[in-house]
Structure formats: structure tokens, C-alpha cells
Amino acid sequence: MERIEIGTRESTELIDITGKVKEIVKIKSGGVESGICVIFTKHTTSGIIINENEAGLKRDILAFLNELIPKGRGYLHDRIDNNAHSHLRSVLLGSSVTIPIEKGELALGTWQSIFFAECDGPRRREIYVKVIEG
């Protein structure tokens, strides 16, 4: 298993980690020809998603999350550390994605990129990448 460490800069932000994951699959996984790759965030206030890396769409996604789950809506968890909205957004996004590997490469579609979704930044974050042959 490999790790990706990133430092986020905004409270909410989408960071494209496709290149880093591809590098792990190619170089560090021992040249797995066929298998699956699991990308997993270790945190309860972040997510991993697949979508198109287009500047307008990235802003749309963040605005959508903000609209759907606004900060400070009287959530119970806010009594503890004031970031319930971050946890709820994480629930919505999910904490991992699984991608097939074919011919030694991630079988992503033309417009698919892998994003780490920060929901409570800025912070140091850790992502696990596990490649399984099969």
C-alpha cells in the first residue's frame, strides 16, 4: 500500500490526485497488469470522488455542497467542534473510490479525474492507495 500526503489550502477545495495515483499504479505497484485500485481518505471531513477536471464544474460542485449542506444549521456536532457541515459533506461524497486496472493502467474514462475533496481545511491530509492484482 502507498500513501499520498497533501496539504490543503482552502476550507473546501477539490484537488486532482489523478497523476499521483497513476504514478503509484505504474511505478510502485510492481507493474500490475490487471487488478483494482482503491483510493481511500483517512479522514472524516473529506472525500474521494471521480469527475471532470473543469474549472467551472469544480466551483459548481463546491457551491452545490455549500447549498445542500450549509455551515451552522444548528447541527448537534457543532457543539463539540463546529464542523458538522464538513462531516456531513464527507458522508455525501464517500471516503473511497475503486478503479479497474487494465493493461497496467487505470481504466478511467476520457473525462474522469480523481479528486481529493477537502471539506474542513486547510489541513495535512493522508490518502491510501491500494493496488490489488486480479
- Among residues 77, 79, 75, 89, the alpha carbon closest in space to that of 118 is found at 89
For the CB of residue 26, give the shortest distance to Zn ion in the complex, in Å: 36
Cβ proximity to Zn ion: between 31 and 122 the closer is: 122
State the first-to-last Cα distance of the chain, in angstroms, to the nearest integer. 16
Q: Per-residue x/- marks for Zn ion, 75-94, CB under 5 A?
A: ------x-x-----------
Q: Number of residues in contact with Zn ion, rule: CB under 5 A?
A: 2
- Among residues 29, 58, 45, the alpha carbon closest in space to that of 89 is found at 45
Cβ proximity to Zn ion: between 41 and 83 the closer is: 83
For the CB of residue 120, give the shortest distance to Zn ion in the complex, in Å: 8
For the CB of residue 64, give the shortest distance to Zn ion in the complex, in Å: 22
Phi-psi domain of 74 (left: phi exceeds 0; alpha: psi -120 through 50; beta: other) = left
Q: Distance between alpha carbon 90 and the CA centroid of its chain, in Å?
A: 10
List residues binding Zn ion (CB under 5 A). 81, 83
